[in-house]
Amino acid sequence: MNSESERREKTLKWLYGLQMHGIKLGLTNIKELLRRMHDPQKNYPIVHVAGSDGKGSSSAIIAAVLRKSGYRVGLYTSPHLLNFNERIAVDGQFITDDEVADFAAALRPHIDDMAESGLSCTFFEVITAMALCYFREKRVQYAVLEVGMGGRFDATNVVTPAVSVINNISMEHTEYLGDTIEKIAIEKAGIIKPGVPCVTINPEPAYGIIAAVAAERGAPLTRVQASDITVKQNTAAGPVFDYGGEEYRVAIPGRNEAKNAALAITALRQLPEYADRIAPHVHEGLAAVRWPCRLERQPGTEVIVDVTHTKAGSDGLVTDVREIYGKVVLVFGVLKDKDVEGLCRNLAAIASGVVVTQPVTERAKPAAETAAVMRKYFPAVETAPTVAAALARAVELKEPGEMILVTGSFYTAEGALRCLGRTSY
């Protein structure tokens, strides 16, 4: 290994080692780090996207439409599935390992200096700063930023965007965000900035919270009503839907993707260049968007991989699977902090067989505990020690023509992709 390779490896090891600092909500560190980097986020317009369900899809759709409209677009999302580099992309190209090492090396002296003053940056704070600096370096004309967790104290909430977007809010990360929809909505609404347009699709009670914050900050609020979206066809290639008197198709499967797309379209309409430059390319962008592991059938297999991990998300997943595929053999692994009861209750309804496993993370719920919950709703549950073993057993259980659905966590999805030989998407 040459000296340059060694430098890169050491820098990457240092970067990933920051994950031991865990989660610390607050904006003091990220503001100081960005100040030292001359505030890269002030160099390009931003679309800022929060929510519990669908925020990644909406972010990907917005970025796809902007790209088709001729803009150079940065996209920052989390978590990743297979490689860290997936989190930071410009025009669909992921940041390279060398670029990660270079940008981490540029940030490190400031981070070390801050740590000596008692400001220890977390992994997410550092990679958020990295993304914002990378977008400046790449001279993006728009950046789309997905909130990591919550909103008010999330590291991305240092930007003043062109438009703020708040997708569906459901119960999640309750130890950090609060134990009611109202409390979580307050955190998500924290991304609303004075005078900046905000778009949301939330019903009550979350909508009332968002509306109150928007009014207080003088932010024009546009509400997408679910009743204004009509899904005409729900297919494996993505839904065809009517919205605002126009028909669209988005290339991400699932009825909820019609809602995510309608929210994205409405957000794009708030941008000053919409009528002249963006509107002619909306259909093209929706057809071109790619967002993996959302009811995604893996090429050449009878395996569908999905990252649904909330009860609300599983409501839609169950409807979609029933309409598109019928009964499936379920491979299910979940984290400790999720609504396992709600997920099991929903998913059992579409299962012809269930193999419960445990994804590879310290946050995973043990397979035996998950299986005990699932047996309330589907008695013939089997367990497997790994996702690979669970997939192998599911292949044995399924009938000819039947599909296997892997879901419950990003970590479970990752295990399935690696088992199927995927190294990137």
408/347 same-domain check: yes
* Nearest Cα residue to 406 out of 311, 320, 267, 297: 297
109/151 same-domain check: yes
Residue 197 domain-assigned?
Answer: yes
State which residues of the chain have pLDDT below 70.
1-3, 20-22, 171, 174, 176
CA distance 82 to 84: 7
82/205 same-domain check: yes
Q: Which amino acid is present at 287?
A: A
Residue 425 domain-assigned?
Answer: no
284/301 same-domain check: no
Query: Which of 258, 288, 318 finishes a domain?
Result: 288
389: domain CATH number is 3.90.190.20
CA distance 218 to 221: 9
Residue 320 domain-assigned?
Answer: yes
209/321 same-domain check: no
CA distance 177 to 51: 12
Number of H helices, E strands in the chain: 15, 17
* Nearest Cα residue to 277 out of 101, 90, 50, 45: 45
Give the phi and the psi of residue 312 in degrees, each rounded to 5: -60, -40
332/246 same-domain check: no
Residue 424 domain-assigned?
Answer: no
Q: What are the respective helix, strand and coil percentages of the chain, to the nearest 5?
A: 45, 15, 40
Query: Which of 233, 256, 288 finishes a domain?
Result: 288
Q: Quick one: pLDDT at residue 21? A: 62
Residue 201 domain-assigned?
Answer: yes
How large is the angle between the packed helices 123-137 and 28-36, nearest 10 degrees?
30
40/131 same-domain check: yes
Q: Quick one: pLDDT at residue 424? A: 75
In the sheet with 229-233, reading across from the earlier edge strand, the strands are 229-233, 240-243, 246-249
Residue 392 domain-assigned?
Answer: yes
Domains in the chain, number: 2
339/242 same-domain check: no
26: domain CATH number is 3.40.1190.10
Q: 269 is written with which tokens?
A: 């309409």
Dihedral angle of Cα 294, 258, 193, 171, to the nearest 10 degrees: -60
Burial of 93 (0-12, 13-18, 19+ CB in 10 A): exposed
401/258 same-domain check: no
Query: Which of 288, 312, 340 finishes a domain?
Result: 288
Beta bridge partners of 301: none
Residue 273 domain-assigned?
Answer: yes
* Nearest Cα residue to 286 out of 239, 254, 324, 230: 239
- For 171-218, write each residue's pLDDT tens digit: 677 676 778 999 999 999 999 999 999 999 999 999 999 999 999 999
Non-local (6+) Cβ contacts of 2 within 8 A are: none
Residue 122 domain-assigned?
Answer: yes
282/300 same-domain check: no
Non-local (6+) Cβ contacts of 127 within 8 A are: 15, 84, 87, 88
pTM of the model: 0.93
Q: Where are the beta strands (DSSP E) in 183-327?
A: 198-200, 221-223, 229-233, 240-243, 246-249, 296-297, 303-305
348/266 same-domain check: no
- Residue 260 structural domain: 3-288
213/357 same-domain check: no
SS3 233: strand
